[in-house]
Amino acid sequence: MDIFSTLYRLHIIPFLKKWNLLNYILGALDILAIILAFECAYLLIYAGTGMGAFFFTDRTVLLLFFGVTPFWLLALYLLKATEIPRTKQYISIFWEYFLSAGAIFLLLIIFYFLFKLYEVSRTFIVLIPLFGFLFLFTLRVFEYKVFKRYRAQGFNYLNVVLIADTSSLPFIESLLEHKEWGYKIVAIFTSSDAIKEKYEETIIILPEGYIQVLNDLMEVDMIDEVLYVKSKIQPSEIRKIVRSCEELGVVFSVQYRDEKLTLSNAVKAEIAGLKFLTFINVPHSTFALGVKKIMDIFGSLLGIIILSPLMIGLSILIRLSSPGPVIYKQPRVGLRGRQFELYKFRTMVANADELRKELEELNEADGPAFKIADDPRVTNVGKFMRKSGLDELPQLFNILKGEMSLIGPRPPLPEETTQYERWQLRRLSVKPGLSCFWQVKPDRNSIKFEKWMELDLAYIDNWSLRLDFVILMKTIRTIFHKTGL
C-alpha cells in the first residue's frame, strides 16, 4: 500500500494541510539539522575535556547558536534553498547549500573577532558550517525525494496553461511524464495539429486565435501560471497576455534562449530544463519578502503568547453574553483564489448568516460588500470588540498557519469575488492580511467599494517593508482609538 494513501486514510495529511503545518515541519527540520551540526562539532572538539556532552551547556556556544541560526535560515531563504523544488537538479541544490554554508562561515568569523570569542576553538568554528552543509543538504535531498513521490500521487500541484506550438511537444510530454514535478496542464492554446491529435482526448485544446478565452479561463479557474513555450515569440501576443495576467494577478512565463536577455520586471527561472523569463506583477524582492515572512511567523506567535490572557477573557465574555461558539469560522478567499477558513471572535448572534438574507435591503455598502452601521445581529460585547478591532485577534492563528499575513488586502467572501470586475481580481495575487491601507483610515466605513479596491491595489504596487511597518503602527493606534479594524 502506498504510504501517502495510508497517511490520507489516517487523516494525517488532511490534518497537516488544514493547519498548514508542512512549512513549519520543514523549518523545524532545518533548525534540527543546525542543532545537530553544532552538537557534532562540539562533541568532536570538546568531548572528554570535562565541558559536558551537549553544546547548550556552554553559555558562549549557546549564544553563538542563537546568533547564527536566524541568519542561516535567512541565507537559505534568500538562496531559495528552503523551497522544495519541482524540476531542479541535485547539483543546483548542492551549490545553494554550499553557498549558504560559506556565508555562515564568514559570519562565524565575523562573530569570532567582533565579540572576541578567543576561548572558542577555531576548528569548532570551521566544523559548524561543514556539518551544517552535510546535514542540511542531505535532509533537503531526502525531502525532495519524498515530495516527488507525493506530487506523483496528484498532490501539491500547480495549475498551468500553455501557449504552445509543435516545437513544444517535448516540453508538454515532460510535464505529463514527470508527475513528480507537480504541474497540472489545465488547457493548451495552440494551432498545432500535432498537439491537437496527441492530447485532445486528455487536455482541453483551444485554438490559438481564441486567446481572449484565456481571460475568461483565468477568471473562473484557479490558474497559477501561464507558460509561453512557442519557438517564435510574437511581441503583440505577449503584450496582450502579460496585460491580462497582470490584471488578474497570474504569473506569466515566456521561454527564452538569449542568455544575456534581461528585463527589469522579469526574473529568470528554469522549468523542465528550459529557461523562462517570469513576469511577476507583485513585489518580488527576495530579501524583503523573506523578512516579511519571518515577521509574520514571529509576530503572530508573539502576539498569541502576549495576548492570550486577553483572548481568554474575551472568550469568557462571549460565552456569557449569548449562546453559540466563541470562534466564528467563515470561508474567505486567499492567495490566487484558494479558499480558507477565517477565524474571528463571534460578535453576532449564532444565526447571523440566516438573518442576513432578511437584511439585504438595508445594506449600506456599495459593490458586493455587505455592511450595516447599526447591525441588529451584533451583540453588546460584539459592538465593543468591533469598535476596538479585538474581534480580529484569532486571525493571528490564520497568519501562523500561513493563510494570511500581518499586512495585506483583507480576504473577501467567495460570493464577493464572483462580482468583482476584472481589474479588481488582482488583489488576490498577494496573501491577504490582518490590516491594510483602508482599514486604518478614520472614515473607513464610508469608503466606497471601488476606492477600497484601488487602495488595495495601491498597496500591492507600492509594497515595501517600510510601508508594512507604517500600516502596522497605524493599526495599533486604530485599536487604542477604538475606530475599528
Q: What is the pLDDT of residues 331-371, one digit of tens each?
A: 999 987 888 999 999 988 887 777 777 777 666 666 666 66
Shared domain check, 301 and 200: no
pLDDT, residue 91, reads: 87
pLDDT, residue 26, reads: 84
Shared domain check, 365 and 216: no
Shared domain check, 231 and 345: no
Task: Quote the percentage of the chain above a pLDDT of 90.
Answer: 35
pLDDT, residue 110, reads: 92
Chain centroid to CA 38: how far?
Answer: 30
Shared domain check, 437 and 469: yes
Q: What's the chain's average pLDDT?
A: 84
Shared domain check, 22 and 119: yes
Three-state SS at 36? helix
Angle subtended by helix axes 22-46 and 59-78, to nearest 10: 140
DSSP string, 319-347: HHHSSS-SEEEEEEE-GGG-EEEEEEE--
154-182 mean pLDDT = 91
Beta bridge partners of 344: 328
Domain extent for 299: 286-481
Shared domain check, 363 and 299: yes
- Domain-ending residue, one of 232, 255, 279: 279
Q: Which residue has the higher pLDDT, 63 or 271?
A: 63
pLDDT at 105 over 90: yes
pLDDT at 1 over 50: no
Shared domain check, 180 and 42: no
The answer to whether the beta carbons of residues 45 and 123 sit under 8 Å apart is yes
Shared domain check, 471 and 342: yes
pLDDT, residue 366, reads: 64
Upper half-sphere CA count for residue 23 (Cβ side, 13 Å): 15
Q: Which residue has the higher pLDDT, 248 or 45?
A: 45
Shared domain check, 445 and 297: yes
Shared domain check, 92 and 185: no
Q: Which residue has the higher pLDDT, 389 or 20?
A: 389
Global model pTM greater than 0.85 = no
DSSP string, 302-315: HHHHHHHHHHHHHH
For residues 373-404, one letter each, b for 16 or more C-beta atoms within 10 angstroms of the residue's C-beta and e for the rest, the string is eebebbbebbebbbebbbbbbbbbbbbbbbbb
208-215 mean pLDDT = 79
Shared domain check, 250 and 229: yes
The answer to whether the beta carbons of residues 118 and 134 sit under 8 Å apart is no
Q: CA-based angle 481:318:401, to the nearest 5?
A: 75
pLDDT, residue 19, reads: 60
Q: Which residue has the higher pLDDT, 447 or 99?
A: 99
Q: Which residue has the higher pLDDT, 203 or 336?
A: 203
Poorest-confidence range of 204-213, 256-265, 302-311, 344-353?
Answer: 256-265
pLDDT, residue 443, reads: 63
Structural domain count of the chain = 3
Q: What would the pLDDT profile of 111-126 be if each residue is shown by its tens digit?
A: 999 989 989 999 999 9
What one-letter code names the amino acid at 99?
A: L
Shared domain check, 373 and 238: no
- Domain-ending residue, one of 97, 122, 152: 152
The CATH number assigned to the domain holding 249 equals 3.40.50.150
- Domain-ending residue, one of 210, 245, 279: 279
User: Residue 406: which residues within 8 A CB-CB, separation 6 or more?
Assistant: 295, 296, 299, 300, 399, 433, 434, 435, 468, 472
Q: Which residue has the higher pLDDT, 374 or 393?
A: 393
